[in-house]
A = this chain, B = another copy of it.
Amino acid sequence: MQQSAQFSTRQKILGAAEALFAERGFAGASLRQVTAAAKVNLAAVNYHFGSKDNLIEEVFRRRLDELSRRRLERLAKLEAAGNASLETVLDAFITPALELSLDRKGGSVFMRVLARAFAEHNSNLRTFLSDNYGYVLKDFAAAFARLLPQLDKQELYWRLDIAVGALTYAMADFGMIQRRSGESEREHREQMAKHLIHFTAAGLRA
């Protein structure tokens, strides 16, 4: 009957860690809480991941490898088809994250974990993310630069910085808007994506 039986110990730990990190933060969630939620032995974390810090990095790697791939794939398709606009490029960035959020296997809290990482200002974690996934933001920044040739470099960077903030915050569901009753999770997320693209595109080209 237990759903978790079909997952490996590794996957059970990653899933429980992701949920608890989202809820309590990296320092706030202990390995005992994680292993209890995953219904595995405490020592399994150090056996499979070596340390808590490595577990944290693995929580990101599990989602970000595919998320980055899908984002860049969509972006490349747009450019190849000559369909690149502020709206479609923003869509290429947002939609893969939205699909991840709707993924049955617990992807719905990962964006919250990702936003937590932004708050860790000087830690190894931000360096890890920047080193391993910074190229994604770079490619998107280049696409925006092509679409906004009238903006000088400084002006563009300011706007992209603000746009990343709006996207990060909204996709982590940090805001106060709750899903309306009678509205499915999918509908709610799609509404959010629609407004997010509209708002951010206007801010970028203002």
Interface SS of chain A: helix, strand, loop or mixed? helix
A157 to B177, CA, bound (A): 7
A206 to B201, CA, bound (A): 9
Partner of A158, one of B120, B177, B206: B177
Contact segment of A1-9, A19-27, A39-47? A19-27
Q: Would A162 and B28 be within 8 Å (CB), given that A115-B119, A118-B174, A119-B174 are in contact?
A: no
Residues on B with beta carbons closer than 8 Å to the beta carbon of A121: 22-23, 112, 173-174
A168 to B165, CA, bound (A): 8
Residues on B with beta carbons closer than 8 Å to the beta carbon of A112: 119, 121
Residues on A facing B (Cβ under 8 Å): 22-28, 112, 115-116, 118-122, 155, 157-159, 161-166, 168-170, 172-177, 191-192, 195-196, 198-206
